[in-house]
Structures are given as structure tokens and as C-alpha cells.
Structure 1
Amino acid sequence: MKILGQVVSVQPLALIISLPNQLFAHVPITEISTQLTGLLESMEDDDDDAPPSDEEDDGPSKSRIPDLFHIFPPGQYVRAVVSAVHPPGATDASVLGRARDEVQKASRRIELSLIPEKVNASVSKSDLRAGFTLSAAVKSIEDHGYILDLGIPDVSGFLSFKEAKKGPFGDDNKLPVGRLIDVCVVKITGNGRTCTVSVDFASVRDASLSEVASVTSILPGTLVQSLVTAVVPDGLNLQVLGYFGGTIDQFHLRAGDVEENYKVGQKIKARILYDVSPSTPPRFALSVVEHVLKLSPKHAAGSDGSKDSSLQDAYPVGAILEAVKVVRVEAERGLVVEISSGLEGFVHISQVSDEHVPSLSPSSGHWKVGTVHKARVTGHFHLDGCLQLSFRPSVLEQKFLQVGEVQVGELIKGTVKRLTDSALFVSMSGSVDGVVWPNHYADIALKHPQRRFRPGVVAELQKDKAVITLQPTQVRALLSLNNLANRRGVSLTQLRTSLKTDEKLQDLVVVSRNPEKGFVLVATKPKEKESLLQRGSLNLDTIQVGQVVGGRVLRHGRQGALVKLTSSISGTLHPTDTCDDFDSGRAFPPVDSILKAVVLSIDRDKRQLTLSTRPSRLYPDQAKDVKDHEVDGVSDLKVGQTVRGFIKNVAEQGIFVMLGRHIDARVQIKELFDEYVKDWKSHFAANQLVKGRVLSVDFDKKQVEMTFRSGDLKRDARSQSTLADLSEGQKVDGRVKKIEDYGLFIEIAGSKLSGLCHKSELSDNKDADVTLALRSFRENDQVKAVILSIDREKRRISFGLKPSYFADDDFESSDDDNESTTGNDGRLGVVDDITDIEDSGDGSSDDDDAPVGTDDMKGDDSDDDSEAADDGAVAMDIDVVTATSAEQTTNITQTNSLSLQDGFQWSAKQDAEDTAMVSSEENTDDDEQGRKKKRRKRKEIEQDLTADMHTKMPESNTDFERVLLGSPNSSYLWIQYMSFQLQISEVEKAREIARRALRTINFREEQEKLNVWVALLNLENSFGTDESLEATFKDAARHNDSKTIHLRLANILDQSEKHEKAEEQYKRTCKKFSQSSKVWTLFGEHYLKRGMLEEARKLLPRSLQSLEKRKRMGIRESDIDNR
């Protein structure tokens, strides 16, 4: 059974819920959400003496588990499912502990569950439409929002951070994992796997369900459209959503005459309370009272005249109501009384009189309708919006109904209930009991308390406390006489004699306080000792930044040493905060050592301090010169600065160095040594002291790059390049930063200057296809360019890549520069050897402040992992870098292409042109054999390094899939994959790959998609049927330029010697594109190639009849050339 409830109170391990019809239930903490239960199950048992967990601990901690008091405010409405109903007598619920009041006692019998998987179990994916409301649990916190658990298979919810701020979550910055929230569906993605939701309270409250596919998708709390079908004395009968039955009892109808306010056939909006199960047809209980419709707590005018107060504040438990009027009698259940306009109360039949009443009559007797009685508030039915009252005289005469009414320090009388060895239990009034501990039996210890305190004896309760005044706030405080006597050094008897009323007491400290009752417990302030603060006296309220504290080192973690100050307070000591000179200090103090530190910052949420043992912090007046300064942020670093730190981690792409508490620097593999070192990891270990220079500082991302290599003057010079250092005609090295349709953006190596190389500056051949040349470039390609022009006002640079701009000497000098090495003066890197045998920290350079370039830092981490990444090696062929686009395409073809031995061709005319291009390049390579022997040998080595590692020809499906992950938009790779399948006779597999390529390639890459379509047409022409070829042709014509596809198919048929079909295709194309001179020209060339001169001549007059006058000249010239 699913039901709507309202949170009454929150216990440490359970929720108390108010249900319809004056019922109460409880929800164990393990039945709130699956995520919260998982956190509780995985939480380790904390030892009393264990320190707080360090930041690096990945396991769950108490701080990560949300507190029920923070996520469930009293008055919140929840959707629940009944999980258990305990029979009378079996009311023990371990999560509730001992019942403190009647509400907790009444809630023990019914157990509920709020887990979305159970509450939303009957909701299907098709029910998730805009406006549908349901409960969800926070599953995880992502970069842009929260992933929610809706309890529906294969569907997850998403709540953005921006939308979460609209929810009724108070000042919570982030919702904790496991929190339960009410959401309203905004939209669901096309694949139906993600549902975007809103938590705006108005949206959730006003969302109405107008139609539904199944009765199981109607959840409690849903606002529905209903039709009144009958008005009866007990309430209304409704038709819900046109199909299902519903009822509203009088407790959930608006005040007033039911027959006057509601008519048969009237349409009303009501909120579902619960489903009446089992029932056929399905029926629901609903409510139309204002506070349920608005999903807000019930408000009422107080008995003292206050307005708009909550029900508990307006009528607290124990309040006496002088006159309430009986308005309705339920013979076997009780009375309904009117307290004020719009507010009713319920008196159970057992609370009508102290004597047994078997039944009630509405027309006769002492409690008939219209009679007025005196009543007392004994409780609240929050969801029904009414009060729980009692007419019993014994209840009206009680002094206390609950413990909260007892005033601290009040002198009262009570009846002894029982005496045990541990305490005396006294009945104060009704259900309120008190306990007296043995040290409060009398002023002196009683040897035989059983003689004085016998059951049934009335005892006057006194307290061994002195009531004092703390001016000017007039706050009542309790001070132990023993504590005051010890402070003054007198006996207790002497203190009672000397202590006078209105005497002022000084040096008092608050021990505990109770703001609700307006009193505090105080004690005398202890005498101060001129020494370091004792561990027991430390607390977060008194500790201040800059204070010196003492503690013991517990262990070492990723953030440094964990220092225990007290049983509940700890601190972290970062290695860079231990000393001013890393050579002489102890960056990692031994475990169990005692140290003295100064407080740098305080994290009160985690109860953790940030500490420092630097002498410059502890003794600022006596501090000597600081050799290793503190690094608090990236603003403390600058390029070229020499710094020292400790290795935090040795990773595959390099090492990470701790420079400060919040600053780590990365050192790439190529920046570790001047020379190539194969086994570089063996030279480094965690917590090792190293020295390096700052290569670059990214202030936005707060990232720092360092180098251990010696100073490279040429590289340093390049790093300082500015616009003023450049001139027109200068030749520079760079990399392709971005590729556009109109050209390339090139970034100059060693600087952040970039400029445009227009596509017209790529090739010396004016007839070359520059679009093809642009496609041959990839981002991060290394190139050599010449500066054509510099606009210093607009800070724009124009580059050129034409081969005519360069000579062979330009590339040789570039190689010589790359081969040059520098000395080892100013060696950086390891300061403390791993074995701690020798210390090389004094071998630093005199030019430590020389700036270091940033050009070598721009490479990818994958390049750094290569063991062959030597400083003198160039990772690509110089000819490829500076050649035209056609040359680059040729080199790629020579190294990567798969040759098709079965005569299969992917394109017709284009393949022939590519073959000619390859032949031309081979001749060019033969002419270059006269170069220097040394340079040729170096290039052969470079080809060996790169070809084997990066351009190895794919030989299996796995190889192709791996390569395609890196270049999903490359039609070249997709077509090779297709040809590979055809070589092993997997025709159907090749078709699937082609279709997959068309779905994968980005829609902006039109040329790439066209290449795949042409390949697919070739495949169908060679291996398919006429029907499959025609279907593929029509599909390709719809997705691409239709004329281009028509001509490509005709060319394919012509090349495959299917001349008759090619002729038909040309005729078909001319009929469809009769206004195109190109179509007629190619048709004529088709006839001429076949020797059909007469047919070619006949095309001329036909074309002239269809073409416009401006296009006829091209046809006539073509005809003259053919003759």
C-alpha cells in the first residue's frame, strides 16, 4: 500500500510520520534510500581514540553521511509504501529506542519505506512525461549536476546545479548522496535513458496529472482532476481521471456544509492520499483541504490571538481549551469538535470520560451534537490538520503532560514509584516521571535510603544547586557549590555560611547551555598555567590562527604528517611547512614524535587544523634567512624561477612535485634528464627532495610545469619570442593550431604567437586542389613556415608554406639546431638520492635564475612516455613537414594504405590521379639521394622510430577499431577497413562498416561522408545486385549533392566496363540536370572514349536546346576540342 505522509519529528535513526485518519508510523534510517543505506553499511566502526580521517581516505566517513535532521525538516510531505504492520503488543522498534511520548509509542506499529525503488516500483518509463511528479534519491554528484535514482529500471534522473538552487533546500550548497527529494519531470531524452527534472517547489506543488496510461502510475501526493459523483453524509464519492473511483472523508473536506459546497457533476482538483487496496475497480482516498493541496504544514490562529502560527505553536500540548463544540459524533470511535473557524479536534472515545463509555449518541447524552465542553490538547494529527483532545477530568487536572513543561529549578512534589540500587524513580504528574541519582538523595550520603523512600510516599524534591544571576542578561545559571568551594579553597559548610544573595561572582565559564529553557550550567574558570596549552583544554571555539599548539605525529599521508592534538582535533603538517631549509630540516617527522607547531588555518567542519613548524613562523623575530620560501599559490611562481620540492607521485607520464600545500608541479619525462635515460623511474621515489626550474605557469587552471634539465640557451631564447622579435621573411618552426576552410592557424614554437596561413599559400601549383591540401593537415602537425607580413597594430601574422619559399639549407640548419646540446652546468633534478648515500644539493648552477623555455612542454603526455623521446631527435620527416599537401597525402598513402589485390577500386578517376602522384613523388625521392650521408642516415633512423610505433599498417579488426577511436572522422581509415573485409570475403561486414561510418562521421565533414558513399557505390557495383546498387544510389543522392552522385555512378560503371549501364546513367543524368553544361560534356567524352563519334555529335544540338546562352560557349569549345 502506498500512502502520503508528513514528517512529524526526526530521530537519530528514524523518522516519525503522520498518516491520514489519525495514524502515525515510523521510517527506519535504512529505508530512506539505497544510497544512504550503502553508506551506512560501508562505514567502518570508529574507535573512540582514533583521530579524524585524513583527506586522502577514500572510505566513507561520518562527515559524508547526511544527518536526518538536515535533510528532513518537520512538516515535509513524503511518499511512502507500507513495509510492515506489527500486531498489538509487538510494538518494539529498536530504531526508536525508548518511547518518550505518545506519538513515538503510536508510531511503532506501522513501518514505512521511502526507497524510490519501492515507492516507484509500478511506474514505467512511458509514464515519465512533462509534469509527472515522483520522489528520487541523489545517486552521485557530477561536474554539472546530480544524477538521481528514480527507482525505474534503465532510467536515471539529472538535476543541474542551477536548477537545484530553486529547490526548498535552505542554505545547502550541495545535496548529499542519499538525500531524498521530490522532483517534477521536465523532459526525457530521445533514447529514454535520462530524465531531466526540476525541484522548484511551485512546479512540484502545482503539477497536475490529467491522463494516465495505467492505474499503477498514480502515486500518492499526485494532484488529479476529479468529478463529484455523489455527496453523502460521510464525505464525497469521486471519479478520478475518468476511470477510477475515489472518496474524500470529512476530515479532508473544507469547513462548512458539505451539501452546499459540493454538487454532483462538479469538477475539483484533489490530491491522492493513498490507494484503497485491494479493491475492484481501483479506488483512491483523496484530500481537498488547503494545507494538503499546498503541501504545507497546517497553520491556525493561536488561542492567545496570534495569527498564522503552526499548529504546534498555536496549540501546544497541555493547553486548556475552555469551550469546544461537538459537531459530529462517530458512535464507535469518538467525537469531532470545532475549536475555531477552520480548525477541528478529535476526541477518542477512551478520552471522553474517566469511566468506560461503550458508545456515543449524536442526539442524546452528555456528548451529543451541539454541546460545549472543556478540553485539553494532548497531541496533534499533522496530516489531517486537527488536534488530539481529551475530556477526561484526570487529564484536565494534571500539572504536567510532558517533560517539556517542567521548569528547571522548580520545587515540586512527587510520589515514589520505586527505588533501585542506581536511582530513585518518582512520579511527578500523570505520565511524567523523574529520576533522582544517589548523590542527590540528601546533603549527606544515606546508608539506608530504602527506609526514607518507600513506594507511595510523597517526597519534596530539592536540588543541591545555587541559583545565581548573571547581569545584565538576567540569564539563570546553575553553579555547583562544590566547584565554587574548591575555587575559594574552603569547605562546603564554610561556603554556605559565607555566600550571600546578590553577591557577584567572577571568572565563570559556560559548561553547557539550553537556549530553549533559558539557563546555562557554569563553572569557575581554572587557573592559567604559564606553559603550552594542555591537550584537553583545546577546542575549536578557542583555537586561533597563529596560536602555538603541541601534538603527536600519528602517521604520514599524501598531504603530509597527521598530528593528533586532542581526541577529536587533529592537524596536517605539509612537508613544505616543516622547515625553512629542506636540507637541514626534517620534512617527514618520525611517527610518535612530539612537536610544537603554529596554526595556519582552521577547518571547523572537518575539525582539522593546518600546521607549520617553520622557524620563521614559530619565532618570527629570531628567524634566519629562508632558503626555501613558502609557495601558497601560482602567483608566488614565475617562469625561470628555481624551486625545490618533494616528489608526490611517480606516474607514467612523468613525476609530480609538491611545491606547497595547494600547488603541485608536473615534470614531463623529456624534462627529467639532459640525455636519454631508459629506466628513468628507478631514479625517483615518493617524498624525494628535488630541484628544478619553472617552465610555465597557467594561472587560470592553476597548473605548473617544471624541468630538471640544464639551461638550454637557444631554447630560452625561443621562449622569449615576442611580436617585436619577428620580421617579414623570417622562417620559423611551428605547429598547426587550428584548421579552417580558409587556411591554417600556426603557432610559433617557443611562444604563444600564432597567425594565419591562407590556403592560397600552401602550394606553388595554381591548379592544385587546396581543399585536398587542407585535409592533409592535422592539428599539432609540426611545420616550417615563412612570415609573409606582420600587422603590428592588429597583432596579426601571415604565414606561407609554399615549397618555393624554402631551400635545402633551411632544413639542414634546423636539424643542426636540434642536434646541438648544452653542457651540464647548473644541473637540476634529484637533490637527495634514493639511497640517501650522497647529497648532490650543492651542485646547483650559478645561473639558476635564467629563464626556461616552454616549447618542449606543449607535447602530449603520450609522446612523453616514449622511451625514444630524445632531445636531439625530430619526430617527423622534414620533407613531409614543408612539402605541399599533395606530398603529405602521398607519404600517408605509401605507409598506411591497404592494397587491394582483387582489382577492387574505391574510386574511378581519383585513384588514377593518386597513382600518378605517387609515381611523381618516387621520382622526387630518387633525385634527393645526393644529400649528405649523415643527414640521410638520421632520417632513416627517424622513419624506423615512427613508422613502427605510429604508422604500422592495421592487420586485424582490433587494429582498425583502435585506430578509428583516434580518428573517427577519417574516411580514409573507414574505406581501408571496408577493403580489409572484402579481402577476406566479408561483403556484408563491409556494408555494415560503411553504414557505421556514415553514422559516425561528423555531419560537418561532408567530403568525408561523400568518400564513403562513393566507396559504398563501388562495393555494390562489384559485389552487389542491380537492385542493391540502385537502392544505394538513391540513398546517396538524398544525402549528398544529387548531380555529383549521378556523375560518380556513371564514372564507376564506365571504369568497370559496364558501358551500356554507364550510357543509361548518363542519359538519366542529362534528363535530370539538363541545365548543366558539365553533364553534357562528360556524356560526350563517354561516347568519344568508346569511339562512338556520331552519337557524340548528336549530343551537341540536344544540349544547345536545353542550356542557357551563357553556358553554350563551354559546350561549343568542348566540341571543337573533341574534333
Structure 2
Amino acid sequence: GGSRAADGNGGAGGAGSGGDSESEGGSGSSEGAKRIELSLRPDRVNAGQDLSSVGEAGACVCGAVKSVEDHGYVVDIGVGGVSAFLPFSAVELAEDDGEALAALEGGAGKRKGKGKTKKPQASSRRLRVGALVECMVDSADRDARALRLSSRATELAAATTRGEVSMRHLLPGMLLRCTVVRVLPNGLWLSFMSFFRGSVDIVHLKKPAGDDWAKQYKPRDKVTARIIHVDAAAKRVGLSLAPHVVSLRPVAFAAAMSDVVEDATVVRVDPGMGLLIGFGGKRAEGGEGGEGVEGAVAAGSKRQRQRSASSGDSDSGSGSDGGSDSDGEAAGKGGDGVATSKDLTPAAALRRAEWGACAYVHISRAGITESRVAHLEKTFRVGRGVKARVVGFSPMDGLVNASLRRSVVEATVLRYADVAPAQLVSGTVKAVESWGVLVALSDSVRALATPMHLADTMLRRPARKYREGGKVEARVLTVDPARRKLHVTMKPTLLGSSLPKLTSYRQAKKAAAEGGAAAIVHGFVTAVPATAGVIVTFYNNVHGLVPLAELKRDGIADAAAAYPVGTVVKCRVVSAAPDKERMRLSMRLRDRAAEGAEAAATAAADADLAASLRPGTMVKRAALLPLPAGVAAEEAADRRFVKVKTAGGREVTAVLRAGDVSDHADLAEAVMATLQP
């Protein structure tokens, strides 16, 4: 039940309201690994519940479809001796609820509008046996120990827990009417159901909290809150007033992973913890801030994803504009902030903080250098402009996780999803081993170059060429963001190739259809089957075959000797079948038709030359030419170069020697002196 979510880099989120989700003690953990195991089984989720706690009208329970009957579903809620029934008429599924729609038979109910709901038709839309459903108790027959349920989304979101319950009956997700008892330094202390107490973290107030948030609440205020975690042993209950939690609707974030927010504003400084920054609306002194989340991306966010197109020829430069040198100046005495524009007043800064358009910067990410900021309150002030980069999300808290580090803000590659096959990248050698070279593209992204891809030819001692800490360039071969695996090549020929980069069979099919230069590509040999030919691999694990028959026609008897594994080859795409993931290649860079046409043109030109310039033929209007490149004047003292035309209009360069310029040998030198271009 912790709300400190892990970000895209495997780190913790900004501020947590319910404890660290990386706490130890998960069952099955080994070697001290931090791990939590979860369960969706109703008997575990509803453990400790009984008829007295779930038998009240309006109580919320989760269950699993046990069977489908004529008029509805029998639902297992995991409470011993209690049966539950969910009528078809009481089922309502949100069109944008991917998990609910995935549980439907036949994939009925295509999206027509995000956020819209539509009652299912009993004949075509059925929940499968085992599908999880969130329900509310419509009515209860205590004598029969039977419940009648409803799963209408609007009713579920508004169902308030009432009646007398004990601590063991309290569950995360329950909606409560509460009273403010006391305003704490980092949140609120509430009472509910007469004798229960619970706390609200500063992250889970109604609005993102600025420095003066405490003025918005006072004792005896009535608020609606939802339970987000319960510690029955310690008798502690965590509550949330955040609208997205209370209404059970996720926050629409105004920034995407790896975005650079150019002009965020410091909204709150938590000494020793971190910063809350906002980027909603326009950053104007005294303005209303009023564009809201919808305008946040256009107003303050600059996408810095460095995914290349399928050609993959993007350079490995900076991941952001970087700004001027003043962008990196210290924001205050501490020298670790990144100021971007003039300061705002606290009131104007707070207007920029909206759910979905505010981020938390942990103290470890608040400095532009790798060093930790000792005193945030001395380095940053409310209203200070900063440049930040999105490094993760905390949906429960409704916050973006961000970093102010210059190395992160300007990084080309921040996560594995930021690179694409065939993209050029740069990094630092972390290790040189027998199994290859490990390259760090960023703090959290590592790439492997196998021994085959360290050079155009196999290196016997890679450590002589690559040393730990050295800077290298590479080109991405394959990337699997889900498994955090990235393979690169450092073959010079592939790095410098200007030919098209094949990353899919569809691209290969298009290249084969266009022909010519579009079909000429670079690849590397990965196998030479004795009975098949040469297998050439390209980017994204796309590969093709050069048939053995073609190689033999070209006089290659031993294909394995001619094309060793790892050799970079230039070949031509002949055909491709994307549905079968097959491709035929040729080592002949021109097809037979092109070769035949070229041979015919050459033969015709030779015939024209032979017919037009037979020995003894008179040539008129021959033009003198300058000395060809590479011919010294001393070497050409006894000859001149002239341009003549054949009958077919072809221009030919001819040589005029000194012995052929005059009938009298003693006049040859004087005539040669007059023959100048």
C-alpha cells in the first residue's frame, strides 16, 4: 500500500505518503533483496472481513466471477459462508478500462470515446469466470448470508463507508467522511467513524501544497478522504484527500517520460527531502497561470526523446538544447540549482502546480552536479525557475518524478526505450571481458558489444584497443526495453556507412521494390550453412540469405572461406516477405537486367568508337585540353591532349605527339609551342 512508486530508472519516487514501497520483508526474498509480493485473490484481499463488515449497504468489496448464471454472476468475495450475486443490469464497464475489457468474451465493446461508459449487453458482453470485479453492496440478507452487488463505476467512486467496524475491517479504498483534528507540520490528523484516527501526508492534500498550505485547513473542517493503507498492528491508517484518489480516476500527466521541462517553477522546498516544482499554465509574474494541464506541454515541456527513425542515422549529440551557460549557474548561494528565468512570487508559483503538472525532485537529484545539495532551503527559493527532466511517475501521488542534474537533463539516452535499432550512440567503456565490451550510455543504460562487433575483423586482444573509462561510439543492433538488454556494434564500416539501415522486413520489401541505390545495404555475416548459402544479419535482428547457387555461379566454391562469420558485406536486397520474416539477398550489386543494359551500352559505344575513329580518319574541330590531373608538365612536353567527337556524339580524349604535328621534324618543337589549350 505504499505510494512511493518506483520510477523508470529503478529509483524511488519523490515523496511518499504511505511508506517506502521497497521495504524489506516480502516473502520469498533472497540475499537481502528488497521485494514485495502482492495478491489479487479475494480471500487474501478481504482477509479478516465478515458479514458484519461487508453486509452494510454501500460497503465496497472486491471479488472474482465464480460462475455465469441466467441473470448475472455468482461472485466469490473470499468471506467464508457469505455468497454474493451481481446482476447483469448492475454491471457497468468503462470503455477505457483495458483490464475490464480484456476480461470480456469476444472483445466486444470497441473504444468510441475515452472515459465514456456503456452498459454491456447480456448477449454479447460477458465477464469471464475468474475475472476480478470491484463491487458495492446494494443490499444484504443477513439471515441467508447473501449479498446483492453492483459494479457501476459512478456508484463505486461515491460509496461511503458507514456503520460500526473494527480496525481489522478497514481496507484500502474505503471512502470516508472525516473531520480535521489537527494540522501537522507535514499533513493533517483526521478522525472518522467516531473513534478512528488517520493521517494525511502533505502529498495527498486536495491541491498540491505550497509553503503556506496549512492556512487552507483548520480543526473541525469536514473533508472526504479515501483509505490508502492500513497498519492494523500499529493501529495506523493512511488517508488521501487528493481528487484523483477520492474519485478513483487516474491523473492525466502533462509530461511524458524523458521530457525536458524548460521552465518549471519551485513551489515548495522540503529541507532535507526535496522540491515540489510546477509546470502548469504560463510562467508569467502575477498571471493567472491559467492554461491548465492541457497547455502545460506546449508552455513548459520540451520533448527530448532521442529515438531515431528506422534509418537510425541520428548523431549521438546532446539530448537537449542545453541552454546558455547561464542556465547552469547556481540558483542561490549553494551553487547547485538551475535558474532559467526571473523568479515568481509564491502565489504565482503555486498557480503553476496542478495535479498532473507538478513534479517532485528528490534531494539526491536536486543538484546540477553529482554532489548532494546540503541545504535545499539555502539553494532554492519558492518561485525560482528551474529546468528539469522527467525520470518517472508516481500515479498514486499524482506526481511526476524529475531530476535537475545536468547530466540527466542533457542526456541523449536516459532509458532503454530512448534508443532504436541503427541509432548512433556514444558512451564510456565500463568493462572489457572475454565476452565483449560493456559500454555505459548513461547512468542507467548499459550496452554490450560482443567480440564479433569490436572491429571489422576479430580482435585477439580487445583490451589493447578498448580501455576502461575510454569514450567510444557505437550503433545500436537490438534493444529490448522490457528486459533491459541492448546490443551494439563498433565495426568502423557499419559506423560510417551512409547506406540505408535495414531495421524491418517491411523496409526491406520497399527497398527491393524501389531497386537501385535504395536496395544496396551493409550487413554482417552471422552464419554460412553448408547447404544454404550465406546468412547476413542487419539491425533489429533482421536477416536474409544469399543462396549458395548464386555464389557458385560467381565462382565461389567455398562460401565459408570467402565470407567468414563477422565479415561486413555490401549486398543487394532482391526480395522480402514480411509475413514470413524472410529475405533474399545478392552479392551482385546490380541485377542481371541492369548488368545486361550496361553491357549493351558499352558495346554500342565501342562500336561507335571503332566506326568513327578508324586509322586515317580526318577529324575536324578538335579542341586542345589542359593536362590531365596527375600528369606533370615535364612528362607532357612532347605531347598534347585533344578532345574529338565520334559520329554518335561521344567525346573522346586523344593524344597528339610531337612527331605528328609537322612534316618537318625540325619544325616540331616550334609547332608544339604554339599548341596551347
Is 1:147 paired with 2:74? yes
**In the superposition, relative to structure 1, how do residues 351 and 277 fare at CA in structure 2: closer, same or farther (>3 Å)?**
farther
Q: Does the 8 Å contact 1:25/1:111 carry over to 2? A: no
1:198-209 alignment, distance < 5 Å:
198-209=150-161
Q: Does the 8 Å contact 1:18/1:24 carry over to 2? A: no
Instruction: Tell me the residue number matched to 2:249.
Output: 296
Q: Does the 8 Å contact 2:359/2:401 carry over to 1? A: yes
Give 2:17's aligned amino acid: N
Instruction: Tell me the residue number matched to 1:964.
Output: none
Cα distance in 2 for partners of 1:112, 1:190 equals 31
Instruction: Tell me the residue number matched to 2:405.
Output: 392
**In the superposition, relative to structure 1, how do residues 146 and 20 fare at CA in structure 2: closer, same or farther (>3 Å)?**
farther
Q: Deviations over 1:309-346 (max 9, x none)?
A: xx2xx323322222333232222322222232313322
Q: Does the 8 Å contact 1:400/1:430 carry over to 2? A: no
Q: How far does residue 17 in structure 1 lie from its aligned partner after superposition?
A: 12
Is 1:524 paired with 2:547? no
Give 1:366's aligned amino acid: T
Q: How far does residue 166 in structure 1 lie from its aligned partner after superposition?
A: 4.1
Instruction: Tell me the residue number matched to 2:393.
Output: 380
**TM-score computed with the length of structure 1 as normaliser:** 0.34
Instruction: Tell me the residue number matched to 2:168.
Output: 216
Cα distance in 1 for partners of 2:569, 2:51 equals 81
**In the superposition, relative to structure 1, how do residues 428 and 497 fare at CA in structure 2: closer, same or farther (>3 Å)?**
closer
Is 1:121 paired with 2:47? yes
3-state DSSP class of the match of 1:394?
helix
1:230-249 alignment, distance < 5 Å:
230-249=182-201
3-state DSSP class of the match of 1:467?
coil
Q: How far does residue 199 in structure 1 lie from its aligned partner after superposition?
A: 1.9
Cα distance in 2 for partners of 1:420, 1:232 equals 55
Cα distance in 1 for partners of 2:410, 2:7 equals 28
Q: How far does residue 350 in structure 1 lie from its aligned partner after superposition?
A: 1.6
Is 1:489 paired with 2:550? yes
Q: How far does residue 271 in structure 1 lie from its aligned partner after superposition?
A: 0.9
Aligned pair partner of 1:467 in 501, 506, 514: 501
Is 1:509 paired with 2:524? no
Q: How far does residue 349 in structure 1 lie from its aligned partner after superposition?
A: 1.7
Aligned pair partner of 1:133 in 39, 51, 60: 60
Q: Deviations over 1:815-848 (max 9, x none)?
A: xxxxxxxxxxxxxxxxxxxxxxxxxxxxxxxxxx
**In the superposition, relative to structure 1, how do residues 228 and 165 fare at CA in structure 2: closer, same or farther (>3 Å)?**
closer
Q: Does the 8 Å contact 1:83/1:111 carry over to 2? A: no
Cα distance in 1 for partners of 2:500, 2:18 equals 45
Instruction: Tell me the residue number matched to 1:841.
Output: none
Q: Deviations over 1:536-573 (max 9, x none)?
A: xxxxxxxxxxxxxxxxxxxxxxxxxxxxxxxxxxxxxx
Instruction: Tell me the residue number matched to 2:451.
Output: 438
**In the superposition, relative to structure 1, how do residues 266 and 396 fare at CA in structure 2: closer, same or farther (>3 Å)?**
same
Q: Does the 8 Å contact 2:4/2:17 carry over to 1? A: no
Q: Does the 8 Å contact 1:244/1:283 carry over to 2? A: no
Give 1:292's aligned amino acid: V
Q: How far does residue 193 in structure 1 lie from its aligned partner after superposition?
A: 3.1
Q: Deviations over 1:359-389 (max 9, x none)?
A: 4353xx2124333322222211110011212
Is 1:347 paired with 2:361? yes
Q: Does the 8 Å contact 1:84/1:111 carry over to 2? A: no
Q: Does the 8 Å contact 1:17/1:24 carry over to 2? A: no
Number of positions where the alignment pairs a residue of Structure 1 with one of Structure 2: 419
1:303-702 alignment, distance < 5 Å:
311=253, 314-340=254-280, 341=352, 342=354, 343-353=357-367, 354=369, 356-357=371-372, 359-360=374-375, 362=377, 365-462=378-475, 467=501, 471=510, 482=536, 483=544, 485-486=546-547, 489-490=550-551, 505=573, 507-510=575-578, 523-524=583-584
Q: How far does residue 135 in structure 1 lie from its aligned partner after superposition?
A: 1.7
Q: Does the 8 Å contact 1:137/1:179 carry over to 2? A: yes
Q: How far does residue 409 in structure 1 lie from its aligned partner after superposition?
A: 0.8
Is 1:262 paired with 2:213? no
Q: Does the 8 Å contact 1:184/1:199 carry over to 2? A: yes
Instruction: Tell me the residue number matched to 1:617.
Output: none
Q: How far does residue 522 in structure 1 lie from its aligned partner after superposition?
A: 5.9
Cα distance in 2 for partners of 1:349, 1:253 equals 21
**In the superposition, relative to structure 1, how do residues 6 and 523 fare at CA in structure 2: closer, same or farther (>3 Å)?**
farther
Give 2:205's aligned amino acid: L
Could you tell me which runs of 5 or more consecutive residues in structure 1 were left unpaired when the two chains were aligned.
Answer: 11-15, 27-81, 93-107, 300-310, 513-520, 527-1123
Cα distance in 1 for partners of 2:13, 2:389 equals 23
Cα distance in 2 for partners of 1:374, 1:116 equals 45
Q: Does the 8 Å contact 1:274/1:286 carry over to 2? A: yes
Cα distance in 2 for partners of 1:496, 1:273 equals 58
Cα distance in 1 for partners of 2:265, 2:134 equals 39
Cα distance in 2 for partners of 1:227, 1:320 equals 40
Give 1:264's aligned amino acid: P
Q: How far does residue 4 in structure 1 lie from its aligned partner after superposition?
A: 7.2
Aligned pair partner of 2:226 in 233, 248, 271: 271
Q: Does the 8 Å contact 1:226/1:242 carry over to 2? A: no
Q: Does the 8 Å contact 1:83/1:113 carry over to 2? A: no
Cα distance in 1 for partners of 2:49, 2:14 equals 25
Q: Deviations over 1:1048-1072 (max 9, x none)?
A: xxxxxxxxxxxxxxxxxxxxxxxxx
Cα distance in 2 for partners of 1:466, 1:114 equals 49
Cα distance in 2 for partners of 1:415, 1:4 equals 36
1:922-1001 alignment, distance < 5 Å:
none
Q: Does the 8 Å contact 1:334/1:360 carry over to 2? A: no
Q: How far does residue 261 in structure 1 lie from its aligned partner after superposition?
A: 3.8
**In the superposition, relative to structure 1, how do residues 177 and 90 fare at CA in structure 2: closer, same or farther (>3 Å)?**
farther
Give 2:41's aligned amino acid: I
Instruction: Tell me the residue number matched to 2:25.
Output: 84
**In the superposition, relative to structure 1, how do residues 144 and 84 fare at CA in structure 2: closer, same or farther (>3 Å)?**
farther
Give 1:272's aligned amino acid: I
3-state DSSP class of the match of 1:429?
coil
Q: How far does residue 203 in structure 1 lie from its aligned partner after superposition?
A: 1.9
**In the superposition, relative to structure 1, how do residues 360 and 488 fare at CA in structure 2: closer, same or farther (>3 Å)?**
farther
Give 2:550's aligned amino acid: G
Q: How far does residue 8 in structure 1 lie from its aligned partner after superposition?
A: 8.5
3-state DSSP class of the match of 2:244?
helix
3-state DSSP class of the match of 2:227?
strand
Cα distance in 1 for partners of 2:433, 2:408 equals 29
Q: How far does residue 209 in structure 1 lie from its aligned partner after superposition?
A: 1.5
Could you tell me which runs of 5 or more consecutive residues in structure 2 were left unpaired when the two chains were aligned.
Answer: 106-125, 281-351, 476-488, 525-535, 537-543, 587-677
Q: Does the 8 Å contact 1:380/1:387 carry over to 2? A: yes
Instruction: Tell me the residue number matched to 1:157.
Output: 84
RMSD of aligned C-alpha atoms? 4.2
Cα distance in 2 for partners of 1:164, 1:149 equals 16
Cα distance in 2 for partners of 1:346, 1:366 equals 16
3-state DSSP class of the match of 1:170?
helix
Cα distance in 2 for partners of 1:194, 1:5 equals 35
**In the superposition, relative to structure 1, how do residues 166 and 361 fare at CA in structure 2: closer, same or farther (>3 Å)?**
closer
**In the superposition, relative to structure 1, how do residues 18 and 325 fare at CA in structure 2: closer, same or farther (>3 Å)?**
closer
Q: Deviations over 1:939-997 (max 9, x none)?
A: xxxxxxxxxxxxxxxxxxxxxxxxxxxxxxxxxxxxxxxxxxxxxxxxxxxxxxxxxxx
Q: How far does residue 191 in structure 1 lie from its aligned partner after superposition?
A: 3.2
3-state DSSP class of the match of 1:291?
helix
Q: Which has the higher helix share?
A: 1
Cα distance in 2 for partners of 1:457, 1:147 equals 65
**In the superposition, relative to structure 1, how do residues 8 and 130 fare at CA in structure 2: closer, same or farther (>3 Å)?**
farther
